Structure 1
């Protein structure tokens, strides 16, 4: 039987994430994982987050879609307090079993 991802080890970000993704977004992604853990969701070792900008009442909001393959899961949420919402960006969070890393797919 395959071990389930727990996302309970130390959390790290790559230099690329630290340089290009503002802290409000990084923290929101970590909180999304913690919220799924608190709900008891079965989580894949790879969490995919796709960032986009959605206009609401004339204001740009940071939209995030979180998805995984096994078991299939997809949900979206908005991040408040983002100074400059970004679009067209995919971020991965990998659970190695002993630590978790937030990175861009091209950094893998």
Structure 2
């Protein structure tokens, strides 16, 4: 599977993710992967997203750290969302048939 084909099949989120992570954040994470593909990044089939809240001028801002193992990649993205979440790690895995967003303990 080429990088442009990765994360292009049907996308799913587990029930746990659907219950704990607001939809706008879920959509933003999928969008981050789409933008990386458009940039020509080589994507690993497992992406790790760490969600952290930082206060900027007294306002909560969603911080997303996206990383992968092969090839090594790490970047930080700031999102303006209505309900930021803190201390959550998500995995997005492309199995080839479908893509799943899940918590590490759901693997």
Q: Same fold (TM over 0.5)?
A: yes
Whole-Å separation in 2 of the counterparts to 1:47 and 1:85: 20
Q: TM-score, normalised by structure 1?
A: 0.93
Matched pairs, number: 105
Which ranges in structure 2 are unaligned for 5 or more consecutive residues? none
1:78 deviates by: 1.2
Q: Partner of 2:105: helix, strand, or coil?
A: helix
Whole-Å separation in 2 of the counterparts to 1:77 and 1:58: 19
Where do residues 4-83 of structure 1 align in structure 2 (5 Å cutoff)? 4=2, 6-80=6-80, 82-83=81-82
Please list the CA deviations of residues 47-81 of structure 1 after superposition, one character each: whole Å capped at 9, or x if unmatched. 0000001111110101000000000000011122x
Q: Partner of 2:86: helix, strand, or coil?
A: coil
Q: TM-score, normalised by structure 2?
A: 0.93
Matched-pair contact (CA < 8 Å) for 1:4–1:45: no
Whole-Å separation in 2 of the counterparts to 1:21 and 1:89: 9
Whole-Å separation in 2 of the counterparts to 1:106 and 1:4: 28
What's the C-alpha RMSD, in Å, of the aligned pairs? 1.0
Q: Structure 1: which 4+ aligned runs deviate by more than 6 Å?
A: none
1:24 deviates by: 1.0
Which ranges in structure 1 are unaligned for 5 or more consecutive residues? none
